């Protein structure tokens, strides 16, 4: 799964990296503790161009009577996105990229305490998570929402968790966004072995209210 991540790249740098036109109401950065239901940066294709927009992390299906009418759908399993009613239409027509500097995962020690880890690209470059987006409208209110696609973990990630976000390589961004023909389903796979690095961080990030760069600092305890 992917339930927490960090983003430190300024919006103008994100726009340049993804060749996208930025909206004006983007979330504040840096944010070292992005949580479900937070607004996140999203790249989507629209009318032959890319836009950098804000969306709520946690896809809200059209049939929900309220945004909290069901569990927050902040992850979508790659193995079932084409079948699940909440995701199948978006998987065909509303794919997006969600930039991140890194993400968190947890293990447990012998006492059951949660031990957080921070995972990032070995080369230090930003990550682009595979995402899906959905507009939810009720009584004149529209909420633009998204989810992160996950797949079975591979390589170094298997030591701490059995799932991981789908990370789309730069050469495949156009295909995932629907700009370069079909075949997006083939991109829903783990990142190449050796492309990610991870380290233990302090337990402060166990709180969704924690903030600041110390959250991603190595902690050997």
Per-residue three-class SS string for the chain: CCCCEEECCCHHHHHHHHCCEECCCCCCCCEEEECCCCEEEEEEEECCEEEEEEEEECECCCCCCCCCCCCCECEEECCCCCCCCCCHHHHHHCEEEEEECEEEEEEECCCCCEEEEEEEECCCCCEEEEEEEEEEEECCEEEEEEEEEEEECCHHHHHCCCEEECECCHHHHHHHCCCCCCCHHHHCCCCCCCCEEEEEECHHHHCCCCCCHHHHCECCC
Of the candidates 128, 150, 2, the one whose C-alpha atom is nearest the C-alpha of residue 78 is 150
The whole-angstrom distance between residue 12's C-alpha and the CA centroid of its chain comes to 19
Distance from C-alpha of 201 to C-alpha of 67, rounded to nearest angstrom? 32
Of 2, 35, 146, 151, which one is the catalytic site residue? 2
Phi then psi for 19, rounded to 5 degrees?
A: 55, 50
Per-residue model confidence as pLDDT tens for the chain (221 residues): 789 999 999 999 999 999 999 999 999 999 999 999 999 999 999 988 999 999 999 999 999 999 999 988 999 999 999 999 999 999 999 999 999 999 999 999 889 899 999 999 999 999 999 999 999 998 888 999 999 999 999 999 999 999 999 999 999 999 999 998 889 999 999 999 999 999 999 999 999 999 999 999 998 66
**Would the pTM count as exceeding 0.85?**
yes
pLDDT of residue 105: 97
pLDDT of residue 34: 98
pLDDT of residue 219: 87
Distance from C-alpha of 210 to C-alpha of 37, rounded to nearest angstrom? 15
pLDDT of residue 221: 60
Of 35, 96, 105, 146, which one is the catalytic site residue? 105
35 as an active site residue: the answer is: no
151 as an active site residue: the answer is: no
pLDDT of residue 220: 63
Phi then psi for 186, rounded to 5 degrees?
A: -70, -15
pLDDT of residue 31: 98
């Amino acid at each position: 799964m992917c339930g927490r991540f960090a983003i430190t790249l300024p919006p103008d740098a994100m726009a340049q990296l993804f060749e996208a036109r930025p909206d004006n109401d983007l979330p504040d950065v840096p944010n070292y503790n992005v949580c479900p239901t937070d607004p996140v940066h999203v790249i989507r294709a629209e009318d032959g161009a890319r836009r950098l927009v804000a969306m709520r992390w946690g896809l809200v299906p059209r049939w929900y009577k309220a945004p909290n009418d069901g569990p927050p759908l902040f992850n979508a399993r790659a193995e079932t996105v084409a079948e699940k009613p909440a995701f199948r239409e978006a998987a065909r027509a509303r794919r997006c990229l969600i930039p991140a500097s890194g993400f968190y995962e947890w293990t447990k020690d012998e006492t059951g305490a949660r031990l957080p880890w921070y995972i990032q690209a070995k080369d230090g470059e930003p990550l682009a998570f595979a995402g899906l987006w959905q507009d939810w409208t009720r009584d004149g209110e529209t909420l633009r929402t998204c989810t992160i696609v996950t797949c079975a973990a591979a390589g170094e990630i298997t030591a701490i968790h059995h799932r991981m976000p789908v990370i789309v390589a730069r050469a495949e961004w156009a295909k995932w966004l629907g700009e370069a023909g079909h075949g997006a389903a083939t991109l829903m796979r783990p990142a190449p072995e050796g492309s990610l690095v991870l380290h233990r961080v302090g337990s402060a990030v166990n709180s969704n209210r924690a903030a600041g760069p110390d959250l991603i600092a190595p902690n050997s305890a």
